[in-house]
Amino acid sequence: MITLNGIVHRQFFFPADPLTTLIYFSDLSRIAFHLPHINVVESYTDNRVRIRYQTVELGAYTINIYCDLDLTVDVAGYVIQIDPLAGCPEVEGDATLNATTGYGFYTSTARLTPVEDDGTNIDYHFHFESKLQRPRGLRMMPRRIVDRIAQSISLGRVQEIAEGFMESAIEAFPAWYAEQKRTLTSDWLAARNGTTPAAEARKHS
């Protein structure tokens, strides 16, 4: 087996106030497209999706990992939580000569706090784990090579995903924001039937 277990903790600056940032990142079916190496293969709802992580390691071995995700928002605490979606059938593990497919578990927590210039600090924790069958082409290889693949994914790839996700999300934000109504925050809060943070006028052009 190939055992993957990657943990990342990062802090990012995002160029919007915390409530706007919370709204921007609260639609999982949209923001998941900013994750490098990851595709949304099924959207159950806006905040419940199945994703597929795919990458090629050592230039020859394709890794496919499916995860089911559920996003929840704590409006009062400015926290976005993503957890494994319960009740979904796991993808059955399979391995060919140069590929392996399996199921994984992803969790993340993003805590938002205001900073100067109407910006937001995002304190981001990311954890990913999976167990995969070895591709047949690796079964006769030394354990150190298999461990090298696992380490590449567990450490390097998860960092690449976290940092690439935030870079892509920041780049896409101005176009998304330009399409929103001036009543974005009040409309969003009303749709949730919440009254916790007070809606503010748009501050960004």
Distance (Å) of CA 104 to CA 6, 135, 144, 190, 198: 11, 17, 23, 35, 38
Burial class (CB in 10 A: 0-12, 13-18, 19+), 23: buried
- Please give the biggest Cα pair distance in the chain: 62
pLDDT of residue 143: 78
pLDDT tens string 136-161: 877 777 777 777 777 777 777 788 88
| Domain total in the chain | 1
Judge whether residue 196 has pLDDT over 70.
no
Q: Is residue 165 part of a domain?
A: yes
Q: Does residue 198 belong to any structural domain of this protein?
A: no
In a domain, 201, yes or no: no
What integer pLDDT is reported at residue 83 of this predicted model? 96
Closest CA to 180 of 32, 35, 23: 23
Structural domain contains residue 203: no
The pLDDT, as a whole number, for residue 205 is: 43
Q: Within a domain: residue 140?
A: yes
In whole angstroms, give the CA distance from residue 103 to residue 65.
Answer: 5
Q: Supply the range of the domain harboring residue 129.
A: 2-191
Residue 18 belongs to a domain: yes
Within a domain: 204: no
Domain with residue 178: its CATH number is 3.30.530.20
